[in-house]
Amino acid sequence: MPKLTVNNEAIEYRMDPATPLLWALRDASNLTGTKYGCGTGSCGACIVDIDGKAVKSCQITLDAVEGTFVTTIEGLSPDRTHPVQLALIAANVPQCGYCIPGIVMAASVLIRRNRNPSDEAIAGAITNLCRCGIYPRLVEAIQRAASAMRGDEPLATGARPGIDPREAARIVPALDPGSQRPR
């Protein structure tokens, strides 16, 4: 049975060692932030951090990751305050959100290795597909996250998970369920 560490917890998967890591994470560990997109390794929705590398979890088996340290979007920052997450929110990058966990994971690996990535380095590291057209804002957000990780600038934190919507509305009035929307 394959043994590895997922989000700092030792896990032994009682699954076929040929099972893609993606399905072990989603089905056995209920870590559904790692998305199934194409299943061919083309879209990047399933990217996780394996021993400091951005890896498409649909393309690697449990057997191949035995003994490794895997970090998923849930383990990156349980309170959603990782600089990449904050920078993407500040730049209004997330649209439908399906590709965002894979992008966040790929970007976090990039800026951990390169605290001052060029546009070209970002384009080379972030090969994820997004149908919402976020790419121009994405590059700027990743550069801003890198700047925050270097300590050059702070990033404001947003509402924490589980916050009452009315409390969030104090910061962002458009989130107030009772507010009038223009027609």
In sign, the C-alpha dihedral spanning 173, 139, 130, 156 is: negative
Mean pLDDT of 141-163: 84
**Which H or E element spans position 145?**
helix 135-150
Full DSSP string of 105-127: HHHHHHHHH-SS--HHHHHHH--
Q: What is the value of pTM for the model shown?
A: 0.85
Query: Average pLDDT for residues 81-101, to the nearest whole number?
Result: 90
Backbone φ and ψ of 75, nearest 5°: -90, -15
The DSSP result for 57-102, as a single string, is GGGSBTGGGTT-EEE-HHHH-TTS--HHHHHHHHTT--SS-SSHHH
| Structure-model confidence comparison of residues 182 and 14, the more confident one | 14
- 3-state DSSP call for residue 137? helix
Q: What is the pLDDT of residue 172?
A: 53
d(CA 70, CA 152): 29
pLDDT at 133 (0 to 100): 83
Give the mean pLDDT of 24-30: 96
% pLDDT > 90, the chain: 69
